[in-house]
Every structure is written in structure tokens, then in C-alpha cells.
Amino acid sequence: MSGLSPRAAYEKVLQQGRFVPDAAQDHAVDQLETLYQQVRSGRAQAGGVYLWGPVGRGKTWLMDHFHASLSVPARRQHFHHFMRWVHQRLFQLSGTADPISKLAAELARDTRVLCLDEFFVSDIGDAMLLGRLVQHLFEHKILLVMTSNQPPEGLYADGFHHDRFLPAVRAIQQHMQVVNLDGEQDHRLHPGVAHQRYWVRTAGEGQLLGAVFEQLCRGQAPTYESAYESVCEPVSEPVELGHRQIQVVKRCADLVWFRYADLCEQPLAAMDFIHLCDQFGTILLSDVPCLSAEQHASRIARGTEDAAEQVETGDRELPRLSRQDDGVRRFIALVDECYDRQVPLYLEATVPLDQLYPHGHLAFPFRRTLSRLTEMQLARFGQG
């Protein structure tokens, strides 16, 4: 990162031809530049900028360069990482009066600006917690910059007890500049130097990633990826994730190779993929199937219990789920973590990239996954 102001950094990449002119991005840069100047002069009050829009519009890039421009104490985290820290800290504060307020006060002592990437709420516990936490962050004058695929009012819109998350929505709308990056450009799809990290394996072929693994293990990776100082001997010892032993095909120093079923069809959570990227700088994943499957309807009967209280809800049909969707969620979490950490991910699948998940309940979040996997096929990915 250069430390340039948001406007200067944006103009530089336009001149280099790395981005194409985009009116929606230009408006977002204006908002971030204004916030940057307010922070720099000490005039910034409670608030911030909320960037939302489809995949590939440059939300993360804009936020990261805003963060890099700051000279005040600032914290940049993927939302999953931030929530993991929140839950850990609240556990440590168990028994104290109003632990959420105390957590916000502690954060305010060390952080002037908090940047959160991929803000997304799907869990009832997180929704209820964030309903109060976001308000406390603003009360403690912490400036927020967030990216999301959804507008504030779309967050957790169909979730249980949505009303308990509404205070957070109202606080975001009241204090932050909400900017829709609705431009027509998917900037991840613009040409760059190609570097293949996705292969399609046809029936009867041997493992295509074998040669890739051997090359990486011998330290012959391109200079912008993990390189090893000397030849290491591959082993097949399992990797421990979430107190489970996860079988590997091979592993070697900073490199590990899994099969899809062994990694994504195990009861793992997003924090386990965080731990995985803590351990390894390059990940290989083979035997990735077509992830769409027959959908199975589920219904819930009238009268849903909320603890001791029964709520009249009427018949309500839940989303049509696939038996494979738990694995797909984990695959999405793996790609997100590798993308956020700039960890090269090499994939061997049975279908082309655009046919990985053609339909299903998770089609919306999977669009971001496809966009990120597409960018991972460029040499610039992994350069940091």
C-alpha cells in the first residue's frame, strides 16, 4: 500500500490502466476522500462510509487504500475475523456489567477507525449482538468503513427476530454515508497476466494437481507466491482444524493439498479456515464436484416456539436446501479467507468454473465466490 489519499490512489490506478473509469467508483472515492480529510484535520465525528454493491466493483480495494492512507490508529479486518474477536472478548468479559459497552470502550481506546470487509449477517446470535454493538461504536466516536453486497436494510432481512437487528440498521443509516457501487463494470474481469490455478479433470485422467504440488514443493513457484528455500520431503500427516484431524493428500512446509470431501464436507466453521490460512501459504484442493444438486423443500408448521413463548407465525416455507449446501458454505468460506489473506488456492474440479454452482439456494453468495476465483486466475493475485 502506498499511503496515498483515496483520491490520489484511485487516480494512480486509472492512469496505470488497472481500473477503467467508473462513475459509481468515483462517487465512492469522493466520500472516502472527504472522510480521509476530516480524519486528517481532526474534524471527523461519529459516522463513516458504508460501501455496498455487486461483486467485483472494487469495494475491498477502495476500503483497503483508505485504510492504508490513515495516520491515526486504525483496524482493518474481514468481518468473520472481527466477529471471532468479539465473541472471544465477550466470553472473557462474562460476569461484568454491560460487556458490549465495555468492549466498545476498549476498542475506542485503541482504534479511531474500524474497517470491516464483507459485512454480512446470517446468524441470530450475531444479529442480536450487533444490534447493540454498532450503536455503542458510534457512541464511542469510532469511525466505521464497511463493505457489503447488501444495503443496510437488506442485512438479515429474512432472519428470525429481524426486529432485534433493526437498531443496527437505523444507526448505520443515520451515521454513515451509504454508497451504492452500482456501476456496470466487474473490475475483476478486466484483462491481466493469466496464471492458471483452476483445472478441469475429465473422467479417466490422473490427478492434475500432482505436478503442481511437486513444482511448488521444490520451490519452483513464481516469485510472487510462497517460495521455499530448499527441497522438502512431502508427508501425509493430517492437519488439525477445529479439534478434528483433517486428512490431506500431501503437505510440504508452507503448502497443503486436500480433497474436497475431506475439507469441505467436514463439520468445520469459518474460524477453522482462518486457522488453516494461518498455517499454510498455499492451498491445493482436488476432486471438487459440481456443487449444485437436487433441491429438497422443507416446511415449518404453525406456531414456532421462542423459548417459553409460542408465536403465531402461520405456515412458513424455508428455503429449498440441497444436501450439498453445507459443503458449499464451507467452500465459500475457504475462498473468502484465501482471497482476503492473498493465499493462492489451486483447484481441480470436474466441471468448468462457471458451472460449479449453476443453481441453488446459495446462488447469491456464490456469485462473489466465482468472481474471486476468476481474479485468482491472474498473476497479480498473491502479490500482497
Residue 307, pLDDT score? 43
pLDDT in tens, 189-246: 555 567 889 999 876 555 789 989 988 887 644 333 444 343 456 788 999 998 899 9
Least trusted range by pLDDT, from 81-85, 122-126, 292-296, 364-368: 292-296
Q: What percent of the chain has pLDDT over 90?
A: 56
Output the pLDDT for position 380: 65
> In the chain, how many H helices and how many E strands?
12, 16
The cell for 234 is: 512431502
Query: How much is the pLDDT for 223?
Result: 36
Q: Do residues 252 and 268 make contact, with C-beta atoms less than 8 angstroms apart? A: no
Does 50 score more than 80 pLDDT? yes
d(C-alpha 81, C-alpha 84), whole Å: 5
Residue 19 has pLDDT above 60, yes or no: yes
- pLDDT, average across residues 52-79: 92
Residue 217 Cα distances to 32, 210, 234, angstroms: 42, 11, 8
Q: Please give the mean pLDDT across all residues of the chain.
A: 84
Question: In sequence order, what E strands does the chain have?
Answer: 47-52, 74-78, 113-117, 143-148, 176-180, 198-200, 239-241, 244-246, 250-252, 255-259, 282-288, 295-300, 304-306, 309-311, 316-322, 345-349
Least confident of 20-34, 71-85, 211-225, 298-312: 298-312
254-298 pLDDT per residue, tens? 899 999 999 999 999 888 999 999 999 999 999 999 998 655 454
The percent of residues in the chain predicted with pLDDT above 70, rounded, is 82
Q: For residues 105 and 94, what is the distance between their CA atoms, to the nearest angstrom?
A: 16
Is pLDDT at 306 greater than 80 in this prediction?
Answer: no
pLDDT digits 0-9 by tens, 139-187: 999 999 999 989 999 998 888 888 889 999 999 999 999 999 986 555 5
Residue count of the chain: 384
pLDDT of 299 reads 46
- With 80 as the cut, is the pLDDT of residue 309 above it? no
Is the confidence at residue 311, as pLDDT, over 70?
no
Mean pLDDT of 328-355: 93
* DSSP per-residue codes, 268-332: --HHHHHHHHHH-SEEEEEEE------EEEEEE-S-EEETTEEE----EEEEEEETTHHHHHHHH
Contact between 293 and 322 under an 8 Å Cβ cutoff? The reply is yes
Q: Does 66 have pLDDT greater than 80?
A: yes
Residue type for 299, please? R
Indicate the pTM of the whole model. 0.69
105-124 pLDDT tens trace: 999 999 999 999 989 887 88
CA atoms within 13 A on the CB side of 4: 12
Alpha helix ranges (H) inside 176-299: 209-217, 260-264, 270-279
